[in-house]
Structure 1
Amino acid sequence: MAMLGWLVLGAEAVPSIWAQGAGDPADASNPSNVVEDRATHAAPEDKPLAMLGRRPLTRQHVDLVLGRNPALGLPPLDPAVEKAAIALIAKRMQALQTLRKLKMAPDRPAILQWIARAQQVDAPEDWVQRTSQQWQVDPDTLLETLEFRLAWEQYLSKHLTEANLSRHFQNQRSRFDGTRFLISLVTAPAPAGSGPARDAVAEQLRDWAQSVTPPVEESASWSQPPPADWHCDVRRWVRGTGECDPWIVDAILRLEPGDPPAVIHSAAAVHAVWLHEQQPGERPFEQAQDDVRAHLLVYLLDYLAGQSARELPLQSVSE
């Protein structure tokens, strides 16, 4: 883990970021085609877990983003953690694509210069080779990891400001001020990325959610029982930070008590959420700053990723 210390940004390890636009499929020299061909003939541990555009996301990328050195023989990941890591990797690849368009990403010489300074080495190329071998990743993957880190830091220096933190609090006050929401939440596991399997789960959940009414108390039964692998939280009080995924809170904030359920997607599942009641909070900005900062990081990453998500869609891999 120490080797990845310099890759940590805030509390998160920076993942492999190597997004490029897809090129001409007939051009055998195009990097995207080389990657795709490599995936086709990959060893089992290198088989794609998902596809980002035409690029495979493999176990190596997940291990890198989570700081898991494969040489240590670590146990298998929980599927939900793996799916969340895949979603984070995809967002950062998409964000890097956007940062490149904004000309905020460093070129290779600048990255190597940064390595020489940060690692205090005279031959940064050798350091890249050694580190990529230790972590069993491609050197280009490691370099693009650093490319994202440096570009992201530059972007945050301009946008993660006190003025923007205050504005973010005002724009989403009920997320941060301690407002409590009484919700029912049903979660159906789904593959990472878009695809027919996830679409089928979403359609099944949507049809079911529209045909039932949540129980009036936690111990009561649903009028139509959900499938056994779905998880149900009935009439649970939550706040806007720390108790639900940000994307679930996004849906809650768009609802009024008594509205039909919202069906939304997260990294590992599809969710149906009902809002039953809402109690306003009174926490001031000064006490909420840490939560505001944490969410603004997510918001900014989503904003950048969204600008390149269409050209680099995250898609599930058929079994």
Structure 2
Amino acid sequence: MTQPANGYFLVCALLAFQAEAMTVAWGQENESVQQGNKDSGVLAWVGTRPIRQADIHFMLGRRPAIPKELALTIGITDSESSQRADVNSSNRSARGLGEFAPLEQSVTESAIALLAKQWQALNTMKVRHLVLDSKTIDAWILAQRFASEEIGADVVSHTEHLANQWAITPDVYRDLVTFRLSWQAYLGKHLTNENMEKHFKKQPQRFDGTQFKISMISARVPLGQSAQRDATRAALSELRVQSSDTDEVWKQAKTLQNERWMLTDATWVRGYGDVEDAVVTLLMTVEEDSWSEPVDTLTGVHLLRLEEVRAGSSTLQEVQGQVRSHMLVYLLDYLAAQSSEQLPLRMNLPIN
């Protein structure tokens, strides 16, 4: 129904993957990767820090298949090398081994949102002394193996060499490694069975199969802070207060409908799996047969009308995977929110 869900659950999937282990390819040399331009166009800003396409590829682990000869030198088995070739073949275009087909804009925006939250969360973790010490980060970087023997033994040379494989700056490489290792340590303390049980009991409607019948008025605007998003939020808020009659709000929206002003009529959605987290949070508080306050998602601003609720009955044991995935997002949001004002996300992408 709503585009927001696609990008949001991509973020969930990436977080779930990143919670398990460091991206293997981050520590691998690949002679076939074409060197890009580190000063290429900026997609977005997090505070004063730029986000470029190469940063996105690095975070997503988008790299070409590793040649068999090189794979053997870095300890990857034949089966692992073949699997990686199969996985990456769908991403590569016919233009060359080191090039990828462009990402869809919705995927790019979702990846930018995730990377921005990681930068914000890293800042919070530094302030709160939650990052691992420099010696631990140095040790991880120095432990990576190389096919060539010309690389210096110091951590600076290793970092520069690894960063060059992805056409990113050494600072981006080290900071993302620092975040990932520190994030996994943080999850080890907080992503526990006890906390997941508390998380489920605090908001059972999100996970127990509860369904919400909603209508939605949506305005697509770019991700991040912007005057356009502020103006859109104000316009939707004004539309909401123009009439106490909920049907009249819908009629007014229809007169304003265009390619960026979309109406979704009477759709059933679940507490988890259909729409973004922010939408469900609002649905759990709004009264039936009334319009909500405007809510922001990855792709826009929305007004919601809750028409009916069907209670669910799933237990924690039945939906433990969903609870875990949501806790990953919740914990990242918790850390990122503490630095979001200091490091606001501002997009540099045009909206389609």
Question: Where on the TM-score scale, by shorter chain, does this alignment land: which range?
Answer: 0.7 to 0.9
Q: Give the conservation status (yes or no) of the 8 Å contact 1:184–1:275.
A: yes
- Residue 90 in 1 paired to residue 116 in 2? yes
Among candidates 253, 256, 275, match of residue 284 of structure 2: 253
- Residue 67 in 1 paired to residue 67 in 2? no
- Residue 144 in 1 paired to residue 175 in 2? yes
Q: Give the conservation status (yes or no) of the 8 Å contact 1:45–1:59.
A: no
Taking the TM superposition and a 5 Å limit, the aligned residue runs for 1:184-195 are 184-195=215-226
Q: Give the conservation status (yes or no) of the 8 Å contact 1:188–1:229.
A: yes
The total of aligned residue pairs comes to 282
SS of 1:232's equivalent in the other structure is strand
Among candidates 312, 315, 318, match of residue 281 of structure 1: 312
Rounded to whole Å, the distance in 1 between the matches of 2:132 and 2:112 is 24
1:137-183 alpha-carbon deviations (Å, 9 max, x no partner): 11111111110011111111111011100000000101000001001
1:61-108 alpha-carbon deviations (Å, 9 max, x no partner): 222223334973223332222222221111111111111122121243
SS of 1:143's equivalent in the other structure is helix
- Residue 130 in 1 paired to residue 124 in 2? no
Per the alignment, residue 234 of structure 1 pairs with: 265
Q: 1:316 to 1:173 in 2, by over 3 A?
A: same
Taking the TM superposition and a 5 Å limit, the aligned residue runs for 1:291-310 are 291-310=322-341
Q: 1:209 to 1:221 in 2, by over 3 A?
A: closer
Q: 1:56 to 1:182 in 2, by over 3 A?
A: same
Taking the TM superposition and a 5 Å limit, the aligned residue runs for 1:1-319 are 10-12=16-18, 46-69=40-63, 72-117=98-143, 119-120=144-145, 123=153, 125-210=156-241, 223-317=254-348
Q: 1:210 to 1:236 in 2, by over 3 A?
A: farther
Q: 1:50 to 1:162 in 2, by over 3 A?
A: same
Length-normalised TM-score, structure 1:
0.78
Letter in 2 for 1:159: H
User: How much does 1:300 deviate?
Assistant: 0.6
Rounded to whole Å, the distance in 2 between the matches of 1:227 and 1:211 is 20
Q: 1:214 to 1:229 in 2, by over 3 A?
A: farther
Q: 1:197 to 1:84 in 2, by over 3 A?
A: same
Structure 2 gaps of 5+ residues are 1-13, 24-36, 65-96, 147-151
Per the alignment, residue 22 of structure 1 pairs with: none
Structure 1 gaps of 5+ residues are 1-7, 16-42
Same amino acid, percent of matched pairs: 33
Rounded to whole Å, the distance in 1 between the matches of 2:231 and 2:38 is 27
| RMSD of aligned alpha carbons | 3.1
User: How much does 1:135 deviate?
Assistant: 1.1
Point out the structure with max Rg over C-alpha.
2
